[in-house]
Amino acid sequence: MIRFASLILLMLAGQGVAQDLTLPSGARQLSERVSPLDSYDLPTGPFADGTLPTRQVEGRVERITWRLQSGSSTTLQLLAPLRDQIIAQGYEVMFECEATKCGGFDFRFDTEVVPTPDMYVAIQDYRFLSASRGDDVLSLLVSRNPPSGYIQLIRVSPVDAEAPPPLVIEETVSQSGGLLTALTQNGHVILDDLHFRTGEITLGEGPFASLEVIAGYLADNPGVRMALVGHTDDTGALDANISVSTGRAQAVRVRLIEAHGVAADRLEARGIGYLAPLTSNATPEGRDLNRRVEAVLLVN
C-alpha cells in the first residue's frame, strides 16, 4: 500500500499566483504546469458512439503529475484514498470509470493527458474521475506500469474569484509498510523517490523517505545487510552505463552512512548498467523506469 502523507494544494488568487505543494511521501513530482487562463475539456461520461462527452471549462488550469511506487496496489487502491478525501472536502464526483468502461483506447486518446514521460497510461489499466465543488472542477487519472504508479491531477478554478479553499489529501495508508513488504516478500525494492541530475551521479539533497525506511529496517534487523544496485537505460556504451550506475549506487550508500548512521559494513554498492531492465527501452517512459537504484536484501 502507498502512503499519501499530506498532499496540500494552496491556491492564492491575484497577481503572482503562488502554490505551496507538499508531495506524498515516497512520490516524485514529474511535472507541473499552471496556465493563468486556459480551457479544459472535462470528460463527463464514457466514450461511446464515436464521441467523448465533455464540458468545456475556462479559468486557471493546473496540470500536475506524480510517479510513486505502487507495488501490488491496483489502480482502485491508488485512486480510492484520493477520491475519499476530495469528497470529504466538498467535491461531488460527476463521473468515474475504469479502463474498459471508460472506453479503453478511445477514451485515453480523446481526453487530455500530460505527455510521456511525465504521465504514463496503460490502455487496459487506468481509472478516471471528474468532480466539482462550486465553480471549481478537477479530474484525476491514475494508471500503473509496475512497479510504478502514475497520478495526473487537472484542476480548473475561476480566475476572477477569491482563492478557492485548499485541496488537502491527508495521510491514509503507510508507504513505509508497502516498501518493506515489497522488500521482504521479493528480496528487493526500487527506491523510487531518489533523484539525480541527468547524466550525473550526485544524489539530490532530499530528504528521501525511502532511505529513512531502509535505515530504520537495518536498525531493527541487525542480522541483515543491503546491496544497493544502480541501473540505467540503454543509451550509450555498457562500460559508461556501468560506471554511472555504480556511482549512483555508491552515492546512495554514502548518504545512508553519513545521514542515517548505517554502518558501512552493512551496505555494498554495485552498478550493472542496462543489463537488467524493468521494461523495454524503446519508449521514453520505459527508459525513465529503467533508470533506478534498488535495495537488495542480503540475509546471512
CA distance linking residue 129 with residue 138, whole number of Å: 8
Domain shared by 67 and 208, yes or no: no
Q: What is the pLDDT of residue 21?
A: 34
Residue 221 inside a domain? The answer is yes
Tell me: do 88 and 191 sit in the same domain: no
- Closest-CA residue to 226 (of 283, 193, 184, 197): 184
For the domain that residue 76 is a member of, what is the CATH number? Answer: 3.40.1000
Q: Which domain CATH number covers 209?
A: 3.30.1330.60
Q: Which of 47-56, 90-99, 143-152 has the lowest mean pLDDT?
A: 143-152
Residue 2 lies in a domain: no
**Residue 280 in this model has a pLDDT that exceeds 80:** yes
Same domain, 276 and 242: yes
Is the pLDDT at 213 greater than 80, yes or no? yes
Boundary of a domain, candidates 116, 138, 173: 173
Same domain, 31 and 135: yes
What is the pLDDT, as a whole number, of residue 237? 93
Same domain, 147 and 231: no
> In degrees rounded to 5, what are phi and psi of residue 152?
-120, 130
Confirm whether 25 is domain-assigned. Answer: yes
pLDDT score recorded for residue 197: 64
Output the average pLDDT for the chain: 82
Claim to verify: residue 146 and residue 227 sit in the same structural domain: no
Tally of domains within the chain: 2
Rounded average pLDDT over 251-270: 95
| Most confident range, picked from 9-18, 103-112, 282-291 | 103-112
Residue 84 is assigned to a structural domain of this protein: yes
pLDDT band at 287 (very low <50, low <70, confident <90, very high): confident
Q: How far apart (Å, rounded) are the C-alpha atoms in residues 60 and 57? A: 10
Residue where the block lists cell 487530455 = 112
Asked whether residue 165 falls in the same domain as residue 35, the answer is yes
pLDDT in tens, 157-168: 998 655 556 565
Q: Is residue 58 over pLDDT 60?
A: yes
**289 part of a folded domain:** yes
- Pair 120, 31: CB distance under 8 Å: no
Together in a domain, 79 and 184: no
Give the pLDDT of residue 257: 95
Residue 118 and residue 75 share a domain: yes
Among candidate residues 173, 197, 231, the one where a domain is terminated:
173
**pLDDT for 173:** 36
Could you tell me if 187 and 132 lie in one domain?
Answer: no
Q: Are both 164 and 199 inside the same structural domain? A: no
List the domain range (segments joined by +) for residue 193: 176-299
Q: Which of 121, 154, 173 is the last residue of a domain?
A: 173
8 Å CB contact between 268 and 225: yes
Is 284 contained in some domain? yes
What sections of 89-196 are H helices per DSSP? Answer: 99-102, 104-110, 175-186
The tens digit of pLDDT for each residue in 13-43 reads: 333 222 333 444 566 778 889 999 999 999 9
72 assigned to some structural domain: yes
- Do residues 275 and 291 lie in contact, with contact meaning Cβ atoms separated by under 8 Å? no
Interval 128-133 mean pLDDT: 96
pLDDT attached to residue 162: 58
On whether residue 1 sits in a domain, the answer given is no
How does residue 169 score in pLDDT terms, banded at 50, 70 and 90?
low
Q: Say yes or no: 227 and 80 in one domain.
A: no
124 has a pLDDT exceeding 80: yes
Share of the chain above pLDDT 90, in %: 49
Distance CA 286, CA 273 (A): 15
